[in-house]
């Protein structure tokens, strides 16, 4: 590609905008954030993914200034932010609950932060109108929050947090209540804003597709810890653990024991009486080490005849899920394991030749699978 790729995290000289150093947050004896270390760089679009209750909101609230770390240090632009009140931070947050002021109109909600900055009235008017246009709320400006729909409220919350053009914007599930089309449009809008303003975004989302679309990097969290931080491609193609592989997207997991065979190559004993599977891994595995092989369904080919491939297994079609553009085949192997394979429906009718109860071959290349230690 030749052009300058945006990847400050690969540059050891780059100064992060946000730096979490061994941060722990306890609520009583409950550990919500557990010894977390993380750098986020300026102009990043950083996505936090993880199951409910894993500490995403807590992490955001520490950045916004509503919670103090129990241990460790949080830096914003090189400055320790411990004890700095929320109104003194160049950070704005969009709340998961929106937190719109019920006694103020949509217009006044958006203008609220600008007024605190003692901006000139004409400037405020212009800025609010700009935000209304961006979020397509022009016709609702005079309404109170209880007079608009859930999705519209979410857009008001978004507009209000964007209005001040903060250095760091925290978005806690900003697009959850929007329909798919509006969500996609808003995602691109956000990316556009981010490119234009250079604002750093940290976004919490339950929607992996969203994280993949908008984020420069994704962090997968679990129980207050960060399991993996990487670009969307890396995290999808090269998850570092079974947890991440399983959490991001659909995946087939095959358990087995690894034996080295050639450079970076391993053969994996996975079922009695079956030929071993071959896979590659940059991470070293000792002989007979237990491992999981993670293969994405779209990397598994399905056919009637045995193909020429690094790995091929035979099974019986259990179920076919037709998803429009693709179909997912659930194939049961003799060992009882069910493997999913995806095929694009390029012809109008899904691959008619493969149907329920058929005996089929599944195949994938050695480089398609990722080897993961337990």
Chain residues binding other proteins by CB under 8 A are: 64-66, 85-87, 91-93, 95, 97, 99-103, 112-113, 116-117, 146, 160, 164
The stretch among 54-62, 70-78, 83-91, 217-225 that binds Mg ion (CB under 5 A) is 54-62
Size of the site for ligand ATP (CB under 6 A): 12
In the list 30, 87, 97, 179, the residue contacting ligand ATP (rule: CB under 6 A) is: 30
Query: What span, in angstroms and rounded, lies between the C-alpha atoms of 360 and 148?
Result: 53
- Separation between Cα atoms, residue 329 and residue 357, nearest integer Å: 11
Residue of this chain nearest to Mg ion (CB atom): 57
Least distance to ligand ATP from the beta carbon of 322, Å? 31
Q: Which residue lies nearer to other proteins by CB, 85 or 324? A: 85
**Smallest distance, other proteins to C-beta of residue 13, A:** 32
Q: According to CB under 6 A, which one of 8, 20, 39, 56 is a site residue for ligand ATP?
A: 56
Sheet bearing 200-204, strands edge to edge: 91-94, 168-172, 200-204, 45-49, 217-222, 225-230
Stretch of 14-22, 35-43, 49-57, 136-144 lying at the interface with ligand ATP (CB under 6 A): 49-57
Binds 97: which of Mg ion, ligand ATP, other proteins, none (CB < 5-8 Å by kind): other proteins
Return the range that interacts with ligand ATP (CB under 6 A); candidates 15-23, 46-54, 80-88, 162-170: 46-54
Q: At what angle do helices 106-116 and 150-163 cross, to 10 degrees?
A: 20
Three-state secondary structure string covering the chain: CCCCCCCHHHCCCCCCCEEEEEEEEEECCEEEEEEEEEEECCCCEEEEECCCCCCHHHHHHHHHCCCCCCEEEEEECCEECCCCCHHHCCEEEECCCCCCCCCCCHHHHHHHHHHHCCCCHHHHHHHHHHHHHHCCCHHHCCCCHHHCCHHHHHHHHHHHHHHCCCCEEEEECCCCCCCHHHHHHHHHHHHHHHHHHCCEEEEECCCHHHHHHHCCEEEEEECCEEEEEECHHHHHHCCCCHHHHHHCCCCEEEEEEEEECCCCEEEEECCCCCCCEEEECCCCCCCCEEEEEEECHHHCEEECCCCCCCEEEEEEEEEEEECCCEEEEEEECCCCCEEEEEEECCCCCCCCCCCCCCEEEEEECCCCCEEEEC
Q: What is the token pair recorded at 273?
A: 């009486």
Please state the closest distance from residue 116 (CB atom) to other proteins, in A.
Answer: 3
Q: Choose between 61 and 153: whose C-beta lies nearer to Mg ion.
A: 61
| Smaller CB separation from other proteins, 87 or 139 | 87
Instruction: Using the minimum distance from each CB to Mg ion, give the nearer residue, 48 or 245.
Output: 48
Binding segment toward ligand ATP, per CB under 6 A, in 26-34, 160-168, 184-192, 251-259: 26-34
| Number of neighbours of residue 196 by Cβ within 10 angstroms | 9
- Comparison of 20 and 95: residue with beta carbon closer to Mg ion: 95
Encoded tokens for 228: 């993996």
CB of 369 to ligand ATP, least distance (A): 31
Taking CB under 6 A as the rule, does residue 24 contact ligand ATP? no
Which string of x and - marks every residue 85-124 that binds ligand ATP (by CB under 6 A)?
-----------x----------------------------
Binding partner of residue 292 among Mg ion, other proteins, ligand ATP, none, CB cut-off 5 to 8 Å per kind: none
Query: Rounded CA gap, 52 and 205, in Å?
Result: 10
Residue 146 interacts with, from ligand ATP, other proteins, Mg ion, none (CB under 5-8 Å by kind): other proteins
With contacts defined by CB under 6 A, name the span among 55-63, 161-169, 337-345, 359-367 that binds ligand ATP.
55-63
Q: Which is nearer to ligand ATP, 111 or 235 (CB)?
A: 235
Residue 57 found at the interface with Mg ion (CB under 5 A): yes
- The pair of three-digit structure tokens given for residue 121, joined into one six-digit string: 């009235």
Is there binding between residue 52 and ligand ATP (CB under 6 A)?
A: yes
Binding site for Mg ion (CB under 5 A): 57
Interaction site with ligand ATP (CB under 6 A): 27, 30, 32, 50, 52-58, 96
């Amino acid at each position: 590609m030749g052009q300058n790729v945006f990847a400050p995290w690969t540059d050891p000289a780059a100064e992060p905008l946000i730096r979490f150093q061994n941060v722990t947050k306890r609520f009583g004896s409950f550990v919500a954030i557990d010894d977390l270390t993380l750098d986020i760089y300026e102009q990043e679009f950083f996505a936090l993914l993880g199951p409910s209750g894993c500490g995403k909101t807590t992490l955001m609230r520490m950045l916004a200034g509503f919670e103090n770390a129990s241990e460790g240090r949080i830096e914003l632009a090189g400055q320790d932010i411990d004890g700095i009140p929320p109104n003194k931070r160049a950070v704005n947050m969009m709340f998961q609950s929106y937190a719109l002021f019920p006694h103020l109109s949509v217009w006044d909600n958006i203008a609220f932060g600008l007024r605190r900055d003692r901006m000139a009235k004409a400037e405020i008017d212009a800025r609010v109108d700009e935000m209304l246009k961006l979020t397509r709320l022009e016709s609702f400006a005079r309404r109170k929050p209880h007079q608009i729909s859930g999705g519209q409220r979410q857009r008001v919350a978004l507009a209000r947090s964007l209005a001040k053009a903060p250095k760091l914007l925290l978005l806690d599930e900003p697009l959850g209540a929007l329909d798919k089309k509006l969500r996609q449009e808003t995602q691109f809008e956000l990316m556009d804003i981010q490119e234009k303003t250079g604002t750093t975004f940290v976004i919490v989302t339950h929607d992996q597709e969203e994280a993949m679309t908008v984020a420069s990097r994704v962090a997968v969290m679990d129980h207050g810890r960060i399991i993996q931080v990487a670009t969307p491609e890396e995290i999808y193609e090269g998850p570092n653990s079974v947890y991440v592989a399983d959490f991001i997207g659909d995946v087939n997991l095959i358990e087995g024991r690894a034996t080295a065979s050639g450079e970076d190559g391993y053969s994996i004993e996975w079922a009695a009486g079956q030929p071993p599977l071959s896979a590659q891994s940059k991470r070293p595995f000792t002989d007979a080490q237990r491992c999981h092989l993670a293969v994405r369904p779209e990397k598994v080919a399905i056919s009637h005849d045995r193909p020429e491939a690094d790995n091929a297994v035979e099974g019986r079609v259990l179920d076919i899920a037709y998803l429009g553009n693709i179909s997912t085949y659930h194939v049961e192997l003799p060992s009882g394991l069910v493997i999913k394979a995806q095929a694009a429906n390029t012809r109008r009718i899904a691959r008619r030749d493969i149907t329920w109860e058929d005996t089929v071959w599944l195949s994938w290349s050695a480089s398609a699978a990722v080897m993961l230690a337990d």
